[in-house]
Amino acid sequence: MRRRLIDFSRYSSIKIGSVLEVGVIEEKIALPKDSIIIGSANNLLVSDNPPPLFLLGKVFGGIMIDGERLKIGAATKSAQIDSFCRRENIGGFEYLSKLPGTLGGLIAMNAGMKEDEIFNPLLEVETAKGTLKKEEIPHGYRYAQIDDIIYGATFEIKRGYDYAKREMFDKMRYNQPKQPSAGSFFKNPPGDFAGRLIESVGLKGMRSGDAAWSEVHANFLVNLGNASFADAMNLVKEAKRRVFEEHGIMLENEVQVL
């Protein structure tokens, strides 16, 4: 298998990490035991010593209409999916204009914005073990249990790209931190907001080295320059500890820490 050296301080959206060897998958295989498949690292915080990492080669990119279905390869980037849908006048994917990732990562995280999420139009997912129907996959808010490499997926087609929705998602991004981050760090606990909880325990703006809980949105862990994995983890541990002590709520990571 081809190997690629990836500098995670450049590749990951939060710009933290070191240079690591990653296996590039060019043909369908099952995920080797105890290893991790990554996408474009928009939802990852990678240490200097993660489990063996793999990513999909370009051969798994691509998007096509097949009758009334949309077939997308798991290495396809969200921006490509959005522009295809705009061109073909397909609705339900407008948020992908503002949500970075690849289809594999989007499905694994059940990523979305507001009431739109990738599982809504999903019909089935292709893995090395075969095709899984949506109904067979346990999934929920920012979660899908697949436990294998996602190679592609099929979606139902709803005609009508919604430009007003796209603009709404655009506006939602105005008041988000501009520094490198991995998006929201913690999942919102039922009936509450992780950002509100972090702010309530006095951690908004708190720094550890060059990592900080953003002044703009407390649930965004931002890299102010040269943050290290240890800087970021100090903040994560402190937020979990204080929120648990003061509110009895154990915050759950949305960002995958490797």
Ligand X SMILES: Cc1cc2nc3c(=O)[nH]c(=O)nc-3n(C[C@H](O)[C@H](O)[C@H](O)COP(=O)(O)OP(=O)(O)OC[C@H]3O[C@@H](n4cnc5c(N)ncnc54)[C@H](O)[C@@H]3O)c2cc1C
Residue 168: half-sphere exposure toward Cβ, Cα within 13 Å: 10
Residues 97, 142, 166, 208: which is the catalytic one?
142
- Distance of alpha carbon 176 from alpha carbon 171, whole angstroms: 10
- Distance of alpha carbon 54 from alpha carbon 45, whole angstroms: 15
Whole-number Cα distances in Å, 228 to 73, 182, 207, 236, 240: 33, 14, 12, 13, 19
Residue closer to ligand X (CB basis): 181 or 208: 181
Q: Which of 50, 100, 121, 195 binds ligand X (CB under 6 A)?
A: 100
What are the start-end ranges of the H helices in the chain? 8-11, 78-88, 103-109, 163-172, 194-200, 229-247
- Nearest-approach distance from CB 109 to ligand X, in angstroms: 4
Residue 223 is a binding residue for ligand X (CB under 6 A):
no
Residue 92 is a binding residue for ligand X (CB under 6 A):
no
Residues 9, 184, 214, 228: which is the catalytic one?
184
Q: Is 254 an active-site residue?
A: yes
Q: Is 142 an active-site residue?
A: yes
Stretch that binds ligand X, among 36-44, 155-163, 193-201, 211-219 (CB under 6 A): 36-44
Residue 13 is a binding residue for ligand X (CB under 6 A):
yes
Q: Is 242 an active-site residue?
A: no
Which residue's structure tokens are 């950002």? Answer: 195
- Nearest-approach distance from CB 95 to ligand X, in angstroms: 7
Q: Which of 6, 16, 22, 44 binds ligand X (CB under 6 A)?
A: 44
Residue 109 is a binding residue for ligand X (CB under 6 A):
yes
- Distance of alpha carbon 39 from alpha carbon 101, whole angstroms: 7
Q: Which of 6, 22, 46, 56 binds ligand X (CB under 6 A)?
A: 56
Residue 42 is a binding residue for ligand X (CB under 6 A):
yes
Residue 97 is a binding residue for ligand X (CB under 6 A):
no
> Interface residues with ligand X (CB under 6 A)?
13, 36-44, 56, 74, 99-102, 104-106, 108-109, 111-113, 142, 149-150, 181-183, 256
- Show which residues are catalytic: 142, 184, 254
